[in-house]
Structure 1
Amino acid sequence: MNRAGATTTPSINAPLRRFEGDHFVVGIAYLLTTFEVSTPPHQEAGTWKMVVDGVELTRTHQSPLQRNRNGVPARHSE
């Protein structure tokens, strides 16, 4: 996912700890952070989008496990 209009891409590499309603918590031990999902994942014109912590995120590639509109497994190429 990419932040709309972002020139840098912040990242966090930590395990998902739990879901709290639509929100999710990631972290290790007592170093936890909650991501607030105000708009859950949805498609707009074939592109997946969501809003997390007030920032619109757009999916930049499709997972190899995803299927296309015809139900055929999609291939991921890098």
Structure 2
Amino acid sequence: MTVTLRFWANLKDITGEAELTRSYPEGSNVQFALDEIYQTYPRLKEWDRSLLLSIGHEYTSRSQILQDGDELSLMPPVQGG
């Protein structure tokens, strides 16, 4: 199955990409995708504990099973003032 990973703010700077397309085995979850992308971009793992994750427009958990065509967004925490 094919999943699009989208990177926002500082995370886009780390990867040098706004989005990447990856192929994962059927039944893969969000954590599987994170583990795979951390191998390619180890500096992303520094953000692991504070990442906000969404599929489409809905926040999601790491245990969520991915579906073909999903768009998984990785966002740093939101700060305001």
The two structures have a TM-score, normalised by structure 1, of 0.26
Query: Which is higher, the Rg of structure 1 or of structure 2?
Result: 1
Structure 2 length-normalised TM? 0.25
More helix by share: 2
Q: Relative CO higher for 1 or 2, CA cutoff 8 Å, sep ≥ 6? A: 2
Q: Could you say which structure has the higher strand fraction?
A: 1
